[in-house]
Amino acid sequence: MPVDYLSYSSVSAYLACPKSWWFRYIKKPLTKTSVALVFGSAVHDTIETYVSARQQEGVENVRPMAELWPRFWQEQLETRNNIKWDRPMDYYTELGEKMLSVPAIVKTLDGLKLKIENDSPVIEKKVRFNVPGVPIPIIGYIDAIEQDGVPIDIKTAGRAWSRGKEHSELQPTFYLLALNQAGYEIPEWKFRYYVLTKTKAPKLQVLETSRTVDELFWTMGLIAEVWQAIEAGHYHPNPTGWKCNPKYCDYYEFCRG
């Protein structure tokens, strides 16, 4: 087998550029880590810890997100090698604190209530599902499940998402498929995004989308087709795609540099 499992990020990476997928999952050359990934992971960890602690330990016992931020930012810096900086580190240190201090953002996240399982909020839930014709599992980690049963994903973005972007994303369908096979009942097949913008005036978008049963089956067919192409060794470059750019592709120098 070329790989042991697939995931949402793996399938979407293949669709963007099969050659880039080959570098990432097969060849695996050493590359620099995007600062956007490091920063986003630190913001993500800060929010999850804050929201979870508020439910488990009580509001009065939890430090503000801006005070938790330095710890998770430092942890990410210490565990990542060769970070590809596009701005000074202090810029991102201050940006994280600024984003997590905006009153409207704090208020929205304070109202986020998570589903409880085994006496703990459902956070970073590992899920997997199977697709007919694909001999390996599809695996993923759902950021959290809200109290109303709707799964969510927390993201950072350079700018606000355009109207309707949430409806065209593949990620919700993957996670809804996994939860369905695990026996969860998702209300109206809904999924929510919490998108924090790294703009001059940071804001938080809460975007809800849903999927139909037909869309779930279509996505399973897509996964099967991607697997067939991977198994056949189809790793052609996609020079006209958005990813074929040294800014967006970590493997540009190996492929076209």
Q: Top-level CATH class of 8-255?
A: alpha beta
Give the pLDDT score at 198: 97
Would the pLDDT of 26 be above 90?
A: yes
**Amino acid present at 125:** K
**Region of residue 125 (left: phi > 0; alpha: psi -120 to 50; beta: else):** beta
Contact in structure between 95 and 197 (CB atoms under 8 Å): no
DSSP the chain: ---S-B-HHHHHHHHH-HHHHHIIIII----PEEHHHHHHHHHHHHHHHHHHHHHHH-GGGS--HHHHHHHHHHHHHHH--SEE-SS-HHHHHHHHHHHTT-HHHHHHHHT--B-EETTEE-EEEEEEE--TT-SS-EEEEEEEEBTTS-EEEEEEESSPPPTTHHHH-SHHHHHHHHHHHTT---GGGEEEEEEEE-SSS--EEEEEEE--HHHHHHHHHHHHHHHHHHHTT-----TTSTT-STTT-TTHHHHT-
Give the pLDDT score at 61: 80
pLDDT tier for residue 247 given thresholds of 50, 70 and 90: confident
Q: Map out the domains of the chain as residue ranges.
A: 8-255
> 121-130: which pairs have CB atoms within 8 A and are 24 or more residues apart?
121/51, 121/52, 121/55, 121/56, 123/48, 123/52, 124/48, 127/175, 127/178, 127/179, 127/182, 128/5, 128/178, 129/177, 129/178, 129/180, 129/181, 129/182, 130/181
User: In the structure encoding, which two tokens stand for residue 167, read together?
Assistant: 């409806």
Contact in structure between 19 and 250 (CB atoms under 8 Å): no
pLDDT tier for residue 25 given thresholds of 50, 70 and 90: very high
pLDDT tens figures, 151-193? 999 999 999 999 999 999 999 999 999 999 999 999 999 999 9
C-alpha span between 208 and 38 (Å, rounded): 26
pLDDT tier for residue 60 given thresholds of 50, 70 and 90: confident
- Backbone φ and ψ of 212, nearest 5°: -95, 165
Give the pLDDT score at 1: 84
Would the pLDDT of 59 be above 80?
A: no
Would the pLDDT of 257 be above 80?
A: no
Give the pLDDT score at 93: 98
pLDDT tens figures, 70-94? 999 999 999 988 899 999 999 999 9
pLDDT tens figures, 211-246? 999 999 999 999 999 999 999 999 999 999 999 998
pLDDT tens figures, 100-120? 999 999 999 999 999 999 999
Give the pLDDT score at 57: 86
